[in-house]
């Protein structure tokens, strides 16, 4: 090329490019999907450019991949943008349903231009999982907004289709893009782009075909309803001891409470043994008698129903024995293998992060021994320096699996431990408060039972939840007899579940006190 050629002005294309935005998280193949689209466009004689802006790792933000493409024209060089501009995006591909919502919030989806293609499955964000209560965002709000914000919406569970075909969601998204017919390319152009990629082409092609068929068969699925919290329990199991428990529930409890009582029995037999489940039913019986005395038969036995639910929760507290039991179960290893898509001949190694404290060690000891050690604070402090540190535990190794398995075997001695004595004393105090409150304020007593939801987890999580529970339960006496007592206790419970540190609870308590000044 001569100096004259370099100086000659080059005419730039002013044609508008096709713009595609992909929102995907780590492991979902967003980069591969972007490469497929670019490779397909270039193979069809188009100029294409892709860029990406990484999100924060592990489900606190998705990476945005952005593609612009134009047919190549001799002597003209297209100018491509590096980032999507609100109002200019033709197709948005969201690899998770809430990412579709975020694309609308960013202005990438517009009713006059954008086709929104999204998988309806959920991968919960850190902000959803960190709340002590139910922090899951409502997918129906996104579904409703998409019907207004997008020119056209295509949505079904593409993750499930990918798993069924042994691939990742990028393949089914690519198939949905082809099935939507929003880009001017034939189906075989899409498939050729996958084949050129080489490794893993066959599973990707199967996933592509499933995504393509999904668009043609049912382009918009309904949002799946959450599963019922209590599944109907069997009326018979074939084991005499368990059938005796089920028979006792059918004979002694009203129909309104039976499903929850069966679920409670199932939980406690798994947690401890049949005798422990019988103890649960023994504790439940006085609540039914109290319920009838307070006219609970006209209120669907709400007191007994809540007692059946939350007494089982209180009696199955999480301790180191329970944690060790759950982490060494064969069903857990099978579930993890399924979730990561491991094949039969592949080895999956799980690394658990554990941070035991001396409190957990003392709680696992026999009651008298634990109390004797607690009476020597200097010794406990010295031992805590050894115990209280984070450990990365590989449960696939013989050493760590055997250690946890031995700890799980201590279940037979749980009822003699210091932790069990204290948990049962705490449960007894809670039930005493409820029993004293019910004759004077039935609805408040029902809410006081539901406050047990605040206590969950183990170690620091358990300590924080227990502290909030004690603070909320302490207000029952103050609220008893007031016209809106149950509503206020419910608000306090919801505030306690709103954040981990308890700032919302502090505000709710202050507001409640000021309302009665």
Q: What is the per-residue pLDDT for 102?
A: 85
Of the candidate ranges 143-157, 231-245, 402-416, the one whose mean pLDDT is the lowest: 231-245
Pairwise pLDDT comparison (462 vs 316), residue with the higher score: 316
Cβ atoms within 10 Å, residue 167: 24
> Across residues 501-514, what is the average pLDDT?
87
Residue 4 has pLDDT above 60, yes or no: no
Pull the structure tokens for residue 82: 């590096």
Whether 109 has a pLDDT exceeding 60, the answer reads: yes
Specify if 24 maps to a domain: yes
Query: How sure is the predictor about 218, in pLDDT bands with cuts at 50, 70 and 90?
Result: confident
Query: Which of 194, 217, 240 lies at the terminal end of a domain, its last residue?
Result: 217
**254-273 mean pLDDT:** 93
Q: Is residue 102 assigned to a domain? A: yes
Distance, in Å, from the CA atom of 201 to the CA atom of 430, rounded to the nearest integer, reads 60
- Mean of pLDDT over the chain: 86
Is 276 within a domain? Answer: no
**Partner residues linked to 94 by β-bridges:** 23, 118
Phi, psi of 51 (to 5 degrees): -135, 170
Residues 6+ positions from 398 with CB-CB distance below 8 Å: none
pLDDT value of position 58: 46
Q: State residue 59's pLDDT score.
A: 47
* Better-predicted residue by pLDDT, 57 or 381: 381
* DSSP symbols for 258-269: HHHHHHHHHHHH
Residue 344 is assigned to a structural domain of this protein: no
Neighbours of 272 (CB within 10 A): 21
Q: Which residues, in sequence order, are CB contacts of 170 under 8 Å at separation 6+? A: 24, 28, 29, 30, 32, 33, 36, 95, 204
At which of 166, 184, 217 does a domain end? 217
pTM score, two decimals?
A: 0.75
Question: Is residue 67 in some structural domain?
Answer: yes
Residue 13, domain CATH: 3.40.920.10
**Helix/strand/coil for 142:** helix
Rounded to whole angstroms, the Cα distance separating 78 from 13 reads 5
Q: To 5 degrees, how large is the angle CA 101–CA 102–CA 107?
A: 100
Determine, yes or no, domain membership for 16. yes
210 occurs within a structural domain: yes
Does 501 reside within a domain? Answer: yes
Residue whose tokens read 């209180």: 314
Domain that holds residue 188: 8-217
Last residue of a domain, one of 163, 194, 217: 217
Domain count, the chain: 2
Helices then strands, each counted (H, E), the chain = 25, 8
The bridge status of strand 46-53 relative to strand 63-71 is: antiparallel
């Amino acid at each position: 090329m001569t100096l004259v050629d370099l100086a000659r002005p080059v005419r730039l294309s002013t044609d508008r490019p096709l713009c595609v935005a992909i929102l995907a998280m780590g492991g979902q193949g967003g980069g591969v999907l972007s490469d497929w689209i670019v490779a397909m466009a270039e193979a069809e004689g188009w100029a294409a450019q892709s860029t990406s802006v990484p999100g924060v790792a592990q489900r606190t933000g998705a990476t945005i991949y952005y593609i612009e493409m134009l047919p190549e024209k001799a002597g003209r060089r297209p100018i491509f943008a590096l980032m999507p501009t609100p109002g200019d995006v033709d197709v948005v591909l969201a690899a998770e349903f809430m990412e579709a919502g975020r694309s609308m919030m960013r202005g990438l989806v517009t009713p006059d231009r954008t086709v929104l293609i999204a998988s309806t499955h959920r991968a919960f964000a850190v902000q959803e999982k960190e709340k002590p209560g139910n922090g899951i965002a409502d997918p129906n709000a996104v579904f409703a907004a998409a019907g207004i914000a997008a020119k056209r919406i295509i949505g079904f569970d593409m993750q499930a289709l990918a798993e069924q075909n042994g691939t990742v969601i990028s393949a089914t998204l690519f198939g949905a893009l082809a099935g939507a017919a929003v880009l001017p390319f034939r189906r075989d152009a899409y498939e050729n782009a996958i084949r050129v990629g080489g490794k893993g082409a066959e599973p990707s092609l199967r996933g592509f075909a499933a995504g393509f068929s999904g668009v043609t068969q049912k382009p918009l699925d309904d949002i799946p309803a959450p599963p019922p919290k209590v599944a109907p329990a069997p009326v018979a199991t074939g084991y005499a001891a368990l059938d005796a428990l089920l028979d006792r529930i059918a004979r002694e409890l009203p129909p309104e409470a039976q499903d929850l009582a069966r679920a409670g029995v199932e939980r406690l037999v798994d947690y401890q043994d049949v005798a422990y489940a019988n103890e649960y039913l023994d504790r439940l019986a006085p609540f039914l008698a109290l319920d009838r005395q307070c006219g609970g038969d006209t209120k669907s036995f709400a007191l007994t129903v809540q007692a059946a639910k939350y007494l089982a929760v209180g009696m199955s507290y999480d301790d180191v024995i329970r944690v060790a039991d759950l982490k060494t179960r064969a069903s857990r290893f099978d579930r993890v293998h399924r979730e990561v898509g491991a094949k039969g001949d592949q080895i999956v190694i799980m690394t658990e992060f554990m941070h035991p404290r001396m409190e957990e060690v003392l709680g696992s000891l026999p009651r008298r021994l634990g109390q004797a050690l607690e009476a020597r604070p200097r010794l406990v402090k010295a031992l805590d320096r050894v115990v209280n540190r984070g450990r990365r535990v590989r449960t696939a190794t013989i050493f760590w699996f055997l250690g946890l398995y031995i700890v799980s075997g201590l279940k037979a001695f749980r009822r003699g431990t210091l932790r069990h004595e204290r948990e049962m004393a705490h449960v007894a105090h809670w039930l005493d408060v409820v029993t004293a409150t019910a004759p004077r304020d039935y609805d408040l007593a029902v809410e006081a039972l539901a406050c047990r939801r605040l206590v969950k987890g183990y170690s620091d999580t358990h300590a924080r939840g227990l502290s909030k529970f004690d603070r909320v339960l302490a207000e029952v006496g103050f609220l008893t007899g007031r016209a809106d007592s149950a509503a206020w206790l419910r608000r306090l419970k919801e505030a306690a579940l709103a954040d981990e540190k308890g700032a919302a609870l502090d505000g709710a308590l202050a507001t409640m006190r000021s309302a009665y000044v």
